[in-house]
Amino acid sequence: MWTEEQWAVIEPKNVSSVVVAAPGSGKTTVMTEHLAQVIATGRIPSQRILAMTFTRQAAEHMRQKLRGHERLHAVDVESCTMGTFHSVFFRALLEADFQVYPLLGQREQYALMREAVVDVLGERRAVSTYELQSYLTLYSRMVGGMEIDKVDHQEKQILESYMRRKRALNRWDHDDILLASLHLFQSPSASKIRLFGMSYILVDEFQDTNQLQWALLTSLVERNGALAFVVGDDDQSIYAFRGASPVFLQRAAEVLPNARRYLLTLNFRSDRRILGHAAQLIRHVKVRVDKPLRSVSEAEGVCMAYEVPDRTAQWRLVAHLLRRAIREGRSAAILGRTRHQLAVAWMALRRAFGAQWDIVAKGVEFRTFHDSKGKEWDIVALLDMAVSPGSTFDIDIDEERRLLYVAMTRARHELYALVPRVMHGAPRRIHPFLLESGMEVCPVNDTLKNDEVRN
């Protein structure tokens, strides 16, 4: 059932493990089985095991898998502590009788940030929801480890106003949980909490860790004299806007005590051409853990970039792909870099399909590149893979490479990158990252596309 490299990770051992896993290699499944084997062998009492994830759904999925494991008893599974970083440390603060405050809901956060923006920029300043989200994200990045000197004066004033308003209301947001948890390590009442009895600490999706989470993990490991097991893929680190960095996974084997690095390189998801072009792209990232990307599938698959005259032609080609996917009973996804791109595509395709749209829409998912992470489909189409002729990137270019890599590796059998030659009335050129991937570019004229749609 397990490959040799998977079993090397799963087998219980007396060292810390840093697992760097390729997309589609079953890293969460391997981590769950490793945890099951540790519990079943009795090497570490289950009540001294802590497993942390980045979403509640991931934590619950792990617990459900363990509950169904043939070697485990229910009492052992329930004795393990599992949850998100925030839930685990919030519970620890409560156990230590640490001063905690009610958490702000999302609407309350937006309202406070709106007041902070108006406080700094003036009453007449219109503030969009997108702008509020941007400031809240900037605040999380600052808390998560971004240097304060990277925030300009006006932004700093807005964030400080937001913090003052929180304090005035005696309220917290999720970032305050982790900040308070750092102080917990120096608290004299902390010795009685369950967290400080943990001797084995596991973290999934470790590439999403920020500076604050890294500090909490390493402090906990050192304080407890614990072993750690972390798993992730630095090539899929795509949340820099939240403060996450692949550096922590890359450094983990050097920093965690008595640690050994393992690689999971076999991909059980994608056909060979898709993985070949994805691997060619990701090799352009400057700093990464070098690892092969090997396909279990013997099928070649399809991986193509199609140049189309404009976005109208793009929708026609997408409509053709969706009709074929439905006819063949295959799953399909339309992926875009932004939500706006997806909204435009959804409206255009709804018009194209007319009365059939309700049926078609049930067979396709619209996702941003970020939101596609952790998912997979038989057929994937990447929208608007074109840039202005003279454009340059003013963002973390490797972050964007990793983001496209994530989107590409969601496809099982067919991947299509769509390149409109004209967008918003202006000429465009193929996205340079597609060229780096070595993907074949095929011009498609209107006559061919119309024939395809009719077929």
Cβ–Cβ < 8 Å for 76, 39: yes
State the Cα–Cα distance between residues 383 and 367, nearest whole angstrom.
11
- 225 annotated binding-site participant: no
State the Cα–Cα distance between residues 441 and 434, nearest whole angstrom.
9
State the Cα–Cα distance between residues 172 and 134, nearest whole angstrom.
19
E strand spans, 48-176: 49-53, 81-84
Output helix, strand, coil percentages for the chain, rounded to the nearest 5: 55, 20, 30
Please provide the distance, in angstroms rounded to a whole number, between the alpha carbons at the two ends of the chain: 42
Name the strand (E) or helix (H) holding 334.
Answer: strand 332-336
Burial of 427 (0-12, 13-18, 19+ CB in 10 A): exposed
Output 386-392 pairs: Cβ under 8 A, ≥24 positions apart. Answer: 386/419, 386/420, 386/421, 386/423, 386/428, 386/429, 386/430, 386/431, 387/428, 387/429, 387/430, 387/431, 387/432, 388/426, 388/427, 388/428, 388/429, 389/427, 389/428, 389/429
E strand spans, 104-252: 200-203, 227-232
- 432 annotated binding-site participant: no
- 426 annotated binding-site participant: no
- 23 annotated binding-site participant: yes
Q: Which of 281, 276, 327 is nearest to 433 (CA)?
A: 281
Q: Rounded to 5 degrees, what are φ and ψ at 139? A: -65, -45
State the Cα–Cα distance between residues 236 and 406, nearest whole angstrom.
6
Buried/exposed 101-117: b ≥16 CB within 10 Å, e otherwise? eeebeeeebbebbbebb
Cβ–Cβ < 8 Å for 419, 426: no
- 22 annotated binding-site participant: yes
- 13 annotated binding-site participant: no
- 24 annotated binding-site participant: yes
Q: Which residues are annotated as a binding site for ATP?
A: 21-28
Q: Which residues are annotated as a binding site?
A: 21-28
